[in-house]
């Protein structure tokens, strides 16, 4: 069973993977309300995703609803949580402990999804040696040394764009396996390094453009 799930996780289409947390959030709410079953049609109405698409997405996890009954809500919460890896703890470091980095370090909600930020790194002497919500901030030159202590697998990159590639290289050289990139720079990395880009500016551009077309 585990081998099958690992294969499916590797082959899962990215759009499906992006939708699964939506489903999880909704069925978790139902579970908290002690709702026992939910249909793909009900989920569709709440999330504005086609019911057939929901059924197809869940089929990647070998989850199938019962005719006239739907999905077992509690089981669906567990299956989605396990598949998405939210219960497994992943140590992470923030590289760039300025405004955005500091905000992420103070976001306790991330730990509910398995992301444990253990340290921040920066070049600003006013930040180095401080703590944010109990999380220490070190000089970037200490990353290799501290990585031996924390064994982080993920680096959250929130540095100025001109330092993005350099800091990514430094993190990878220290043993980081994945980079959550909040800079607008498209960093390059070896094929075995996982890169996810979250550009605030790109989303702003999308908002502004869509607002402009609807006037």
Walk along the chain (215 residues) and give the pLDDT tens digit of each residue.
Answer: 343 344 344 468 889 999 999 999 999 999 999 999 999 999 999 999 999 999 999 999 988 888 888 999 999 999 999 999 898 999 999 999 999 999 999 998 999 899 999 999 999 999 999 999 999 999 999 999 999 999 999 999 999 999 999 999 999 999 999 999 999 999 999 999 999 999 888 888 889 998 977 76
CA distance 8 to 37: 25
Residue 12, token pair as written in the block: 């899962």
CA distance 131 to 105: 10
* pLDDT value at residue 215: 61
* pLDDT value at residue 6: 44
CA distances from 165 to 100, 181, 199 (A): 18, 10, 15
Name the pairing type of β-strands 71-72 and 135-139.
unpaired
């Amino acid at each position: 069973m585990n081998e099958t799930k690992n294969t499916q996780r590797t082959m899962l289409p990215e759009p499906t993977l992006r939708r699964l947390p939506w489903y999880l959030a909704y069925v978790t709410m139902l579970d908290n309300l002690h709702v026992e079953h939910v249909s793909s049609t009900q989920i569709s109405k709440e999330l504005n995703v086609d019911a057939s698409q929901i059924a197809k997405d869940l089929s990647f996890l070998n989850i199938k609803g019962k005719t006239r009954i739907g999905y077992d809500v509690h089981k669906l919460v567990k299956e989605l949580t396990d598949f998405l890896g939210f219960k497994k703890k992943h140590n992470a470091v923030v590289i760039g402990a300025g405004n955005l980095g500091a905000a992420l370090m103070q976001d306790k909600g991330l730990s509910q999804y398995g992301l444990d930020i253990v340290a921040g790194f920066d070049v600003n002497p006013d930040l180095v040696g401080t703590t944010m919500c109990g999380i220490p901030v070190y000089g970037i030159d200490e990353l290799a040394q501290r990585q031996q202590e924390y064994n982080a697998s993920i680096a959250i990159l929130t540095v100025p764009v001109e330092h993005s590639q350099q800091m990514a290289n430094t993190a990878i050289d220290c043993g980081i396996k994945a980079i959550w990139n909040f800079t607008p720079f498209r960093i390059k990395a070896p094929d075995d390094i996982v890169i996810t880009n979250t550009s605030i500016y790109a989303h702003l551009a999308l908002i502004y453009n869509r607002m402009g077309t609807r006037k």
